[in-house]
Amino acid sequence: MFKDLDPILHSQLRLAVVSLLISVKEAEFTFLKEKTNATAGNLSVQINKLKEAGYIDVVKQFKENYPQTVCRITPFGIQAFEQYVKNLHSYLSVHIHPGPGKDREPQ
């Protein structure tokens, strides 16, 4: 049965950030910016939304006198991502392989 897609994750930039973070232990803001081709301002807003939802942890620190932002996905974020992918698959299976009788021509 198809369930609604998580609105926090069903946004291109937020989904891109979570997909990057699911594959690594942690990543710097500059890495996420480089890989997503997003502007710093937009990326910062979306990272805050993910943080508020509890999907990622954000640590702000200093590295050689320069500010550094490090992001990592939380267990709750991993759970939400897995559920999102499951829902995507169920949505696609309903729409690509509809159940018996749905798209059949009347005899």
Instruction: Note whether 19 binds another protein by CB under 8 A.
Output: yes
Q: Which of residues 42-71 bind another protein (CB under 8 A)?
A: 42, 64
Say whether residue 10 binds another protein (CB under 8 A): yes
- The answer for residues whose C-beta is within 8 angstroms of residue 4's C-beta and 6 or more apart is 87
Residue in 1, 3, 4, 5 binding another protein, rule: CB under 8 A? 5
Q: Is residue 91 involved in binding another protein (CB under 8 A)?
A: yes
Tokens 């996420």 label which residue?
32
Label each residue of 57-89 as H, E or C: EEEEEEECCEEEEEEEECHHHHHHHHHHHHHHH
* Residue closer to another protein (CB basis): 15 or 80: 15
Nearer to another protein, 68 or 76 (CB): 68
Tell me how far, at minimum, the Cβ of 93 lies from another protein, in Å. Answer: 10
Extract the tokens encoding 10: 């069903």
Place of tokens 């696609």: 92
